[in-house]
Amino acid sequence: MRKYSLSIGIIFLLFGFLSQSCTQEAKNKSNTSSEKEQVNNTETQEPPIAYKMPSPVELFMFLKSNEIEYKPNSVSPVENITKYYTNASKAINFGIYASDLAYCTVFGMYQETFLYFSTTRTLATDLGFTSGFDELMVERINANLYNNDSLFQITNDSYADACNYLEESGKKDVLALILAGSWIESVHIIIQSIDTFSNESPIVIRLADQRFLLENLVNFFKSIDNNISTDKILDKLFDLQASFDLLYDNADNINMTKAQYDEITEKVEKIRTELIN
């Protein structure tokens, strides 16, 4: 009798696991079939599209190569981490801190690099992923704390590993929030690096170029299953995109007018303030 009860117990246990796995499989199947339908349709229509953006590291390397100075007040204070309770705010601010981490690393700010790595790592753990922020990376950081080239490679690896993990494990909503936070922070840092506006300034041109990244960021949001958190961010991005869209109407020799610069700057800073608080 006892053996029988035990067997029943095992079956229930297995069934519990199985129902979880099969629900997932059913979901996967339905996703696959809808994707399949999409792919079949694409014989006459468009195939699925993956939207990509250059990492913030490329932007900060550009700032450094243009002899722009590191501005310590541009980064988000690490103490703010205690303000982030929801998964959405954690994901957005993971992106913001990851951008700050890249900024500190590119400009050789060793102590700040360690500080921002620890902060992003805390949020990564809270969000349930350690890819790119595991013990091995911590050891690599510790071993190369004063080696700028190595630190640069390590932080670049961490960001890429985290993004690949999230994309491949289907956590695209989390990835979207991270990318949005990361992008807003990097645009904020460009703006902070512009002392005087000039249409010819390479930094202003790079700011105008951000319309292409915003295009892909918005399209990435549109391509995923959205929720309240992603919808809120998407609305803010739509509003900002409306301002960036005006740049397309400029004459060939005008990258950005002062009025356009002021409008974009105001919107970016407003969004960033809302996100970090």
Position 4, amino acid: Y
DSSP state of 164: H
Question: Nearer Cβ to another protein, position 108 or 170?
Answer: 170
CA-closest candidate to residue 229, choices 169, 186, 167, 274: 274
x/- string (CB under 8 A) for another protein, residues 58-97? x--xx--x--------------------------------
Residue 11 in contact with another protein, rule: CB under 8 A: yes
CA distance 77 to 116: 9
Q: Which residue, chain included where needed, has tokens 């491949």? A: 168
- Find the shortest distance in angstroms from Cβ 92 to another protein: 21
Binding status of residue 134 toward another protein by CB under 8 A: no
Q: Which of residues 238-277 bind another protein (CB under 8 A)?
A: 238, 241-242, 245, 248
Residue 106 token pair: 């590119």
Q: CB of residue 160 vs another protein: minimum separation in angstroms?
A: 4
Question: Could you say whether residue 26 binds another protein (CB under 8 A)?
Answer: no
Contact 101, 120 (CB under 8 A): yes
Question: How many Cβ atoms from other residues are within 10 Å of residue 27's Cβ?
Answer: 11
SS3 33: helix
- Chain residues in the site for another protein (CB under 8 A): 11, 14-15, 17-18, 21-22, 24-25, 39, 42, 46-55, 57-58, 61-62, 65, 156-157, 159-160, 164-165, 167-169, 205-206, 209, 212-213, 215-216, 219, 238, 241-242, 245, 248
